[in-house]
Each structure stands twice: as C-alpha cells, then as structure tokens.
A and B are shown apart, each in its own frame.
Chain A
Amino acid sequence: MLLTAPIIISFLTAIACFLARHDRVAQRWLSLLGSIALLIASFLLAAEVIRHGPIAAAMGGWLPPFGIVLVADLFAVSMVVISAIIAVTTTIYSFGEVTDGEERFGFHTLLHSLLAGGCGAFLTGDIFNLYVWFEVMLIASFGLLILGGRKEQIDGAVKYVVLNLISTIAFLTGIGLIYGATGTLNMAELRDAIPAIENDTVVLTTAVIFLFGFGVKAALFPVFFWLPASYHTPAVVVSSLFTALMTKVGVYALIRFFTLMYDTQMPQMQTMLLIIAAFTMVVGVLGAAAQNSIRRILAFHSVSQIGYILLGLAIFTPLALVGAIFFIIHHIVVKANLFLVGGVMTRLTGSEDLAKIGGLWRRTPWLAVLFLLPALSLAGLPPFFGFWAKLVVIQASFEADAYLYGFIALFVGLLTMYSMSKIWMEGFWKAHPNPSGAAALSLSRNELALLVAPIVLLTVATTALGLFASPFFDIAVQAAAQLTETDAYVRAVLGTLP
C-alpha cells in the first residue's frame, strides 16, 4: 500500500493536471497538492522502513521470481523522500517562472510523470522494471527539456536523448545477458545467482555494460558531455529538477547494482571505479572553472560531484558508503538550490553571462546570503551539510589507504571554492556593466515570493542537516549497513533466504 503510493500519487497528479490544463489555477493547485501528497506519502513510507527494515510488495500478487516486486530499504526510501522535497520546491518555483503556454503544453504533467519514473526506479526490485522506469523518466525529461521550443533547447535535447538512448540500449543488452546467464531478473535472486555464474567473463562483461549504461545516466567521465550540453538550455526550474533527479537515478542504480548484485571488490572493477571517480571529479571541476555563465558552471560542476559519490562506492567500506549516501542527499539539496538562485539572479540582472551581470550585493543583499549559504555548503565548509558529506568520503578514503584519491577529493573541493567565488565576485561584488538597464528589471512581490520560498526552504534544509547531522548520520549508517548486509533485503523480497 505505502510502497506503491509514491508512484500512484505521481501518476494521478500527472493525469489530473493534464485534464485541467486549460484552467491554469486549477492545474497549479492540483500540481502543488500532488507534490505535497507525495511528500507525506514518502515520509510515511520512510517511517515504516525505519521501524521495520526493508519492506517489499509483489505487484499483482505474483510472487517472485514470476512477478515484479517493489522494495524499499533505507537507501531507496531516503531517495524517495528527497525527490518529494524537490518536487515541492520545483512546483512552487515553477509558478513564478513557467509561462502560461508551457503550463498548457503540459509542464506539470511532465513534471509528475518524471517523479513517477524516479520513484519507480528507486523502489523497484526488478532490473527489467528498472529499465522501464528509466524510459518513463527519459520520455518525461525530453518533454521538459524542449518545453518552450527554443533552438538551443532542441540542440541540447538531441545530444541528451541520443546519449541516453545509447545508455538504455546498453542497459537492456546487459539485462538480456544476465537473464540468459541466470534465468531471473529479480534483484534479490540475482544476489546469489550472479556469483554462481561459473564463467567470470560473463560477470565482468555484464558488470562493465551496466557501468557504462548507468555511467552515461550519472554523467561519469568520459560519457558526461550530454550534461553540460543540455542542462543550461531549459527553464531554470527544469535544470534544478534534472540536476536533483536525473543523474542521481543513474548513481542510485550503480550503487544498487554494485552493492547488492556485483562484487565491487573484484580487483579490476574497483580499480576502474576509482580511476573513473577521480577523473570525473577533476574533469568536472576544471570544466566548471572554464565556464562563464551561471548555469553552465553549475551544470559542469555537477559532474565533479558525481565523482565523490562514485568514490564512496568504489572504496566500499561501510563508512565510504555512508559518505556516498550523504553526498547524494547533500548534492541534491544544494545543487538544486543553486540553480534556483541562479535563476533569480538572471531574472534580476537580465543575463546568465557573468560578464554581463553584477551589482547584486548592493541591490539584493538577501539574495547574496541565499547564494552564499548553499555555495559554502557545496564547497564543504562547516557547519553545513556539505562539510559532513565531504568529510566522511575523504575520511573513508584515508582510512582505506586510498590517500591519492582522498587528496584529489580535497583538491577538487578547493577548485569548487574557485567556481563559487567566481559567481560571487562577478554576480554580486562587481558593479553591473549597465546599471540603468538592470535597475529596470524587477520582479513583482508575488513572483519574488514564489521564487524565493523554495530557495529558503532548501537553504534551511542544508543548514539544518549540517547542524543536526548526527541523527541523519545514524540513519545513513543503517542504510549503508543494509547495502552491505543484504540478507534483510533478500528476506523482505523472497520471504526466506535461499
């Protein structure tokens, strides 16, 4: 009941919003109501999982291995909760940004379809079903990406779709191979079926195919270039939603596959993951340093943050997994927020290009504060949540004697500071090159409230998570324990241990 609720609520909201698309007010209320309902349902689900451990439900009453199961463990459920929070902020912000035409074209329908796809991907316990949810997300995200129909949007969307299609085909190939080798698609059954495959080549081949497929989704080095090509083109609120959900689903799938089914500590695999993580961190942050427009910096920088999460997975000690989980949550909250702040900066100055804007510190000091707090969190300064996330990942790499990677992570953190201070210096400190033109741009009180409320919400979230990190740390430790000790997961799905 609770397990299917996030998916049902999202789909219902999508349908209701579509049917009400000619009535702007009704559609907005329905959309907001749907997001809030999703948030409540996800909290209830999380409470259930915290109380009882992993829970599972067989769709249609068909038990595994024949049917598809939905499973919620702590990791999955925290992803659902964070998606629901992003759903609320996205919906509110969209009221201040998305145009009437875009809403009529189905912005809210696409938004909630995307959320349904995301929740489905987080909760499914079947690898083919995961593929289906990926497709749901891909279709919805394509719609959101081209909403508005400007030329550069189509250009970005083509790159985005081509690479993502290649990745899903790779994923599908991997599913076919695994099914041929084991005869099951159920993740819990695969836990024991994959190590039982006698031919090591099959195991390694499928592992690499999945790594490639999810790597494209997650924007890992060297297959990340669809992300900086497309994330700066759609509406700001769509960029924010994508950075929170799209790449994270890829990372989530990677973590799920390489904790539950594959042995990350196959020597070739671990080395490969470590090297990819390092390159992803460094290339992403260098790419961001070379950019000169707010959203391009933020988008490129997202790539480097994925590297930290992968580093946590690659090191694969319990502490490192805690770090990976912390980092996913941290990155979603902070980066989604920074995109939204960037959107307000653009609206107030008339451009995203850092050379053409400025003077915001003098004009709107409150916005400067709202930028500074998540930016410092992103750079990893205490007392924000980003500090703990980075600390745990780096500490885990030092404890595992992966000093090189720990130092790379520290160095990348420094460069993050550089990118953020660039936005700060250019956007806030420096005077606007055309002050009279900028002064003419102002937002009505109403618009401003809609745009700033989600920013405040997310800023409070990252600060509160940082100040009261210890209960969340305990939950993350439990979530990581469920990822490494998979017996509870398997027992929830299959009823018994094989």
Chain B
Amino acid sequence: MNSIILTAAARILTPLMIAFSLFILLRGHNEPGGGFIGGLVGATGFALYAKATSVKETIRALRLQPPTIAVLGLGAALLAGMWGQFFGDAFLQGMWPFYGPGPDGGTVGLPVGSVLLFDIGVYLVVIGSVLTILFALEDDVAHPDRLDIED
C-alpha cells in the first residue's frame, strides 16, 4: 500500500506493538496475559508493517519464514515439557533453576524457568501461524491466478 501516513505511523507503531506484546507475554506469568494473547498482538504489529511496506520486506525483517517461527515455537514448548520430564517428576512440570525457598521462609530468586520457555513457545507458534495465514492470503491477492502456496 502506498500511503505516507501509514508508512510513517507504522515506523513508530510496529516497534511499540511488538514491545507491548513482549510486555503482555511476561505479564502473563502471574496476571492476565501470556503467550497466546501476546503473540496475537505481536502478529498484529508485523501485519501492520506488512501493510505499510510489503510481505517480502516483513519476512526480511523477521529473518525467518513464518512457518519456521511457528515450528521453532512448538519446539520450545516441547523442550519446556521435556525439561520437566527429564529433570523433574512429570512432563510439563514447572522447573525453576533460579528460584527457590529463601533463608527466612520466603522465596528468592528469579522466577524464570520452563514455564516461561513454554509461554515463549506459544508466543512464537501464534505469531508464526497467524503470519503464515496472513501472508498466504496476501499472496493470493497479489497473484490471484496462482493456486499453490510455496513458502
């Protein structure tokens, strides 16, 4: 699309939306938010960028093809599950390497562990799959005569 207003706005809005999506991702640890909704917001940011520039430019900015992002996300989530399986008691069990009971009865440390990894996986799966669908549709609009979708 050729609109100066959109292009200029996207330059500010896209990083803002992606930063916000990361905030939602992290906030989801204890409050409403999380990987799924964060991923949707992040995907919206990239979708806006794609509208303002082009699909090709967006994929270049992403560095990876959207399906690859989704599959890597699935891998991260699976890894989080196996972490609990192999080093804990059950598949998908929460593992907290930097977090534990403190000397005075409370808990100390950084609550970062397999749960966050799982959430990041969900985040990537959502971004990857939403963008895959979106770009495929864009591709169809750009080349209506073509039926197959190659990545």
Known contacts A57-B90, A58-B90, A60-B94; decide if A8 and B67 are in contact (CB<8 Å): no
Interface string of B56-72 (1 = CB under 8 A from A): 00000000000110010
> What are 24 sample pairs from A and B whose C-beta atoms fall under 8 A apart?
A1-B85, A4-B85, A8-B82, A8-B85, A8-B91, A14-B71, A14-B74, A15-B71, A15-B75, A15-B78, A18-B67, A18-B68, A57-B90, A58-B90, A59-B90, A59-B92, A60-B92, A60-B93, A61-B84, A61-B88, A61-B90, A61-B94, A105-B150, A106-B67
Report whether B91 and A59 are in contact in the complex, using a CB–CB cutoff of 8 Å. Answer: yes
Please report the C-alpha to C-alpha distance between residue A1 and residue B85 in the assembled complex, in whole angstroms. 7
8 A-B pairs with least C-beta separation: A60-B92, A61-B90, A4-B91, A61-B93, A18-B71, A15-B75, A59-B92, A60-B93
Report whether A11 and B78 are in contact in the complex, using a CB–CB cutoff of 8 Å. Answer: yes
Q: Is B89 an interface residue (CB 8 A)?
A: yes
Chain B residue, CB-CB nearest to A106:
B67
Report whether A12 and B93 are in contact in the complex, using a CB–CB cutoff of 8 Å. Answer: no
Please report the C-alpha to C-alpha distance between residue A59 and residue B88 in the assembled complex, in whole angstroms. 11
Interface centre among B67, B82, B91, B92 (most CB of A within 10 A): B91
Q: Enumerate chain B interface residues (CB-CB to A < 8 A).
A: 67-68, 71, 74-75, 78, 81-82, 84-85, 88-94, 147-148, 150
Please report the C-alpha to C-alpha distance between residue A59 and residue B78 in the assembled complex, in whole angstroms. 13
Chain A residue, CB-CB nearest to B148:
A149
Those of A1-22 within 8 Å (CB) of chain B? 1, 4, 8, 11-12, 14-15, 18-19
Residues of B within 8 A of A58 (CB): 90
Interface string of A14-33 (1 = CB under 8 A from B): 11001100000000000000
Residues of A within 8 A of B94 (CB): 60-61
Residues of B within 8 A of A11 (CB): 74, 78
Please report the C-alpha to C-alpha distance between residue A15 and residue B94 in the assembled complex, in whole angstroms. 23
Report whether A8 and B71 are in contact in the complex, using a CB–CB cutoff of 8 Å. Answer: no
Please report the C-alpha to C-alpha distance between residue A105 and residue B147 in the assembled complex, in whole angstroms. 14
Total A residues in contact with B, Cβ cutoff 8 Å: 18
B59 to chain A, nearest CB (A): 16
Chain A residue, CB-CB nearest to B73:
A15
Please report the C-alpha to C-alpha distance between residue A14 and residue B75 in the assembled complex, in whole angstroms. 10
Report whether B90 and A60 are in contact in the complex, using a CB–CB cutoff of 8 Å. Answer: yes
Please report the C-alpha to C-alpha distance between residue A11 and residue B75 in the assembled complex, in whole angstroms. 8
Please report the C-alpha to C-alpha distance between residue A148 and residue B79 in the assembled complex, in whole angstroms. 32
Chain A residue, CB-CB nearest to B86:
A1
B88 to chain A, nearest CB (A): 7
Known contacts A18-B67, A18-B71; decide if A12 and B78 are in contact (CB<8 Å): yes
Interface centre among A8, A19, A60 (most CB of B within 10 A): A60
Those of A56-79 within 8 Å (CB) of chain B? 57-61
Please report the C-alpha to C-alpha distance between residue A19 and residue B69 in the assembled complex, in whole angstroms. 10
Report whether B91 and A19 are in contact in the complex, using a CB–CB cutoff of 8 Å. Answer: no
Please report the C-alpha to C-alpha distance between residue A19 and residue B75 in the assembled complex, in whole angstroms. 10
Those of A98-155 within 8 Å (CB) of chain B? 105-106, 109, 149
Report whether B81 and A8 are in contact in the complex, using a CB–CB cutoff of 8 Å. Answer: yes
B140 to chain A, nearest CB (A): 13
Please report the C-alpha to C-alpha distance between residue A12 and residue B78 in the assembled complex, in whole angstroms. 8
Report whether B91 and A60 are in contact in the complex, using a CB–CB cutoff of 8 Å. Answer: yes
Report whether B74 and A15 are in contact in the complex, using a CB–CB cutoff of 8 Å. Answer: yes
Report whether A149 and B90 are in contact in the complex, using a CB–CB cutoff of 8 Å. Answer: no
B11 to chain A, nearest CB (A): 32
Q: Which residue of the partner chain, among A1, A12, A19, A105, contacts B68 with CB atoms under 8 Å?
A: A19
Residues of B within 8 A of A14 (CB): 71, 74
10 extra interface residue pairs, beta carbon distance < 8 Å, beyond A4-B91, A12-B78, A61-B90: A4-B81, A8-B81, A14-B71, A15-B71, A18-B67, A18-B68, A59-B90, A59-B92, A60-B90, A61-B88
Residues of A within 8 A of B91 (CB): 4, 8, 57, 59-60
Interface centre among A57, A59, A105 (most CB of B within 10 A): A59
Chain B residue, CB-CB nearest to A11:
B78
Residues of B within 8 A of A106 (CB): 67
Report whether A60 and B84 are in contact in the complex, using a CB–CB cutoff of 8 Å. Answer: yes
Residues of A within 8 A of B78 (CB): 8, 11-12, 15
Please report the C-alpha to C-alpha distance between residue A1 and residue B89 in the assembled complex, in whole angstroms. 9
Chain A residue, CB-CB nearest to B75:
A15
B73 to chain A, nearest CB (A): 10
Please report the C-alpha to C-alpha distance between residue A271 and residue B74 in the assembled complex, in whole angstroms. 45
Please report the C-alpha to C-alpha distance between residue A149 and residue B149 in the assembled complex, in whole angstroms. 9
B120 to chain A, nearest CB (A): 15
A140 to chain B, nearest CB (A): 12
Please report the C-alpha to C-alpha distance between residue A18 and residue B75 in the assembled complex, in whole angstroms. 11
Residues of A within 8 A of B93 (CB): 60-61
B28 to chain A, nearest CB (A): 17
Please report the C-alpha to C-alpha distance between residue A57 and residue B67 in the assembled complex, in whole angstroms. 32
Those of A36-67 within 8 Å (CB) of chain B? 57-61
Please report the C-alpha to C-alpha distance between residue A106 and residue B71 in the assembled complex, in whole angstroms. 11
Report whether A19 and B82 are in contact in the complex, using a CB–CB cutoff of 8 Å. Answer: no
Please report the C-alpha to C-alpha distance between residue A336 and residue B75 in the assembled complex, in whole angstroms. 31
Residues of A within 8 A of B67 (CB): 18, 106
Residues of A within 8 A of B150 (CB): 105
Residues of A within 8 A of B148 (CB): 149
Please report the C-alpha to C-alpha distance between residue A314 and residue B44 in the assembled complex, in whole angstroms. 51
